Amino acid sequence: MRLPSNATAPASCAFDFSVPYDALVGNRHDKMPWAGTLFFTYLIGVPVGYIGMAVLGWPLVANLRRVNRLTVGAVCIVAAIIGALTFMALSIALTGKVHVSWHGRLDQAGLGLWMGLLAGLIFCGITGVPLRRHR
């Protein structure tokens, strides 16, 4: 499977989800205006996304292809799990708060899950991953 040169786009596209999410749930970012939020998203989010894709995503896709299980569903499920875990680890690393309420952890995991799912869907759309596996 030869991937197009724009196959790295999911990492940057997924992090664009954070600003509309904040707007929908009512986070105002009084201390950080929207321009600062975008800057922070791209300064921290995109490099973390690319590192996560290189360390976890590409080997996963190669392994799924090797065992003939490369489908949209498999990629999206694993991408969502990786997104949730990575987002929680990133928020712990940035804030230094290990002990957060379960509600806060669920919010972090949920946002990471959606961003991972979005990245998986975009990746599958760009690279042409099949809906069903070939027999």
Global pTM value? 0.68
Q: How far apart are CA 9 and CA 46, in angstroms?
A: 10
Residue 90, both tokens: 């990133």
pLDDT tens per residue across span 30-70: 555 666 666 777 777 778 777 877 888 889 889 988 998 89
Q: What is the pLDDT of residue 75?
A: 92
Q: How far apart are CA 85 and CA 14, in angstroms?
A: 15
Report the Cα 132 to chain-centroid distance in Å: 23
In which band, very low, low, confident or very high, does the pLDDT at 27 lie, cut at 50, 70 and 90?
low
- CB under 8 Å to 124, separation ≥6 — which residues? 72, 75, 76
pLDDT over 80 (residue 119):
yes
What are 59-109's pLDDT values in tens digits? 988 998 899 889 999 999 999 998 888 888 888 887 787 777 777 788 888
Q: How far apart are CA 64 and CA 66, in angstroms?
A: 5
Task: From 67, 74, 79, select the one nearest 120 (Cα to Cα).
Answer: 79
| Helix orientation angle between 102-127 and 72-95, rounded to the nearest 10 degrees | 140
